[in-house]
Amino acid sequence: MSATWQTIAALSITLIATKAIGPVALGGRDLPAALMRFIGLLAPSILAALIVVGTLTAADGDLEIDARLAGVGVAAGILVTRRSALLPAVAAAAMIAAAVRAVA
Amino acid sequence: MRAGMKAGIPIAVASVLLGTSFGVLAQPVMGTVAPIVMSAIVFAGSAQFGALAVLTAGGGAGAAIAAGVLLNMRYLPMGIAIAPSTSGGPVRRALAAQPLIDAGWAMSSRGGGRYDLQYMWGIGAVCWPTWVAGTALGVFTGDLIDDPDKLGLDALFPAFFLALLAGEVRSSRAAIAAALGALIALALSPVTPPGVPVIAACAAALVALSDRSSADREPIIEPEPHGAAP
């Protein structure tokens, strides 16, 4: 089996398991209130980290500033004006990043 | 579930574009069939791009798997987060967690640690076919698109997550958690393998435990509908 197919097989199996562990091990139990509050804050914590990683890192994980930052910056400006402007913000991010790359 | 499918349309659009981008980049390295199979059975953008980057650089299967597994490790805390919202026996719970993707997970959050899993399934139901179809499109049209990044596609998902975060920050505590999560990711990115910064950012949610006064608990508010506005 080639490296490609080994990678695909291993990632699909480990991902199914990774997703299932929490629900299988913890599901159905009443979790302590403090843990529920912690869980409630996982979304903003992880989303913020994904934004940083997606905007500021290269494929190897090192920090890299490029046209993405301009695109995401404009999206942030749009979202500050109107919090629900998801599509305009996302479209603007791609267009600005493409425009910056075209002139750079 | 239908509400989730409707709400998932913007992500589905992004999925087609990102999937195309994956297909274009993967075809020269992985061939024609493998990228499409990978999108169909792995269905995790960041791990697929991460593993592809390793294979493209000439790394072996072990390094590619390690990169992908690390990037997928965040689905462990996400799975724990949705655990109280699952029901039924172990198999049913394990199945309920399978459409877990970043955007679907965040959009299904209903505050107070609760998740609407029907909604999450709806989002997965529209994003999976578009992700696979986009990959196929990229694989077969790769000759026409030399560099998908020229189209700014790599700015799509961070902007998308930013829009989701804007809807998620409904208390000062959530804002603090987001700021801390961003700082942790920024600090760790130069020194840890890809994937680790996002998992470590979960520690930011510990601010939930910093004050036990009941008056300051997370308010349980329905989030604003995403993507409903024209």
Phi, psi angles (nearest 5°) of residue B216: -105, 20
Distance from CA of A80 to the nearest CA of B (A): 8
Contact B122, A19 (CB under 8 A): no
Contact B223, B3 (CB under 8 A): no
pLDDT band at residue B12, thresholds of 50, 70 and 90?
very high
Q: Which residues of B touch A13 (CB under 8 A)?
A: none
In the numeric block, the tokens 């698109």 are attached to B145
Nearest by CB: A43 against B97, B109, B198: B109
Give the residue on A whose Cα is nearest the Cα of B191.
A62
pLDDT over 90 (residue B56): no
Q: Which residues of A touch B148 (CB under 8 A)?
A: none
Output DSSP code: residue A57: B
Give the CA angle between residues B202, B203, B204 to the nearest 5°. Answer: 85
Report the predicted TM-score, pTM, of the whole model to 2 decimal places: 0.82
Q: Does B206 touch chain A (CB under 8 A)?
A: yes
pLDDT band at residue B222, thresholds of 50, 70 and 90?
very low
pLDDT band at residue B183, thresholds of 50, 70 and 90?
very high
Interface contact flag, A54 B157, Cβ < 8 Å = yes
User: Mean pLDDT lowest for which of A21-25, B29-33, B94-98, B209-213?
Assistant: B209-213
Q: What is the pLDDT of residues B70-129, one digit of tens each?
A: 889 999 999 999 999 999 999 999 999 999 999 899 999 998 889 999 999 999 999 999
Give the residue on B whose Cα is nearest the Cα of A2.
B61
CA distance B46 to B161: 13
Contact A40, B112 (CB under 8 A): yes
Return the percentage of chain B with pLDDT > 70, whole number: 91
Nearest by CB: B181 against A21, A40, A45: A45
Compute CA distances B135 → A65, B7, B32, B140, B204, whole Å: 27, 22, 10, 9, 34
Q: Which residues of A touch B14 (CB under 8 A)?
A: 90
Q: Which residues of B touch A68 (CB under 8 A)?
A: 152, 154-155, 158
Q: Nearest Cα to B70, choosing from B153, B152, B188? A: B188
Output DSSP code: residue A82: -
pLDDT band at residue B212, thresholds of 50, 70 and 90?
low
CA distance B196 to B191: 10
Tell me how crowded residue B119 is: count the other CB atoms within 10 A of its CB: 22
pLDDT at B220: 47
Predicted ipTM of the assembly: 0.89
Q: Which of A31, A52, A78 to mutate to test the interface with B (most CBs of B within 10 A)?
A: A52
CA distance B223 to B109: 8
Q: Which residues of B touch A34 (CB under 8 A)?
A: 208-209, 212
pLDDT band at residue B211, thresholds of 50, 70 and 90?
low
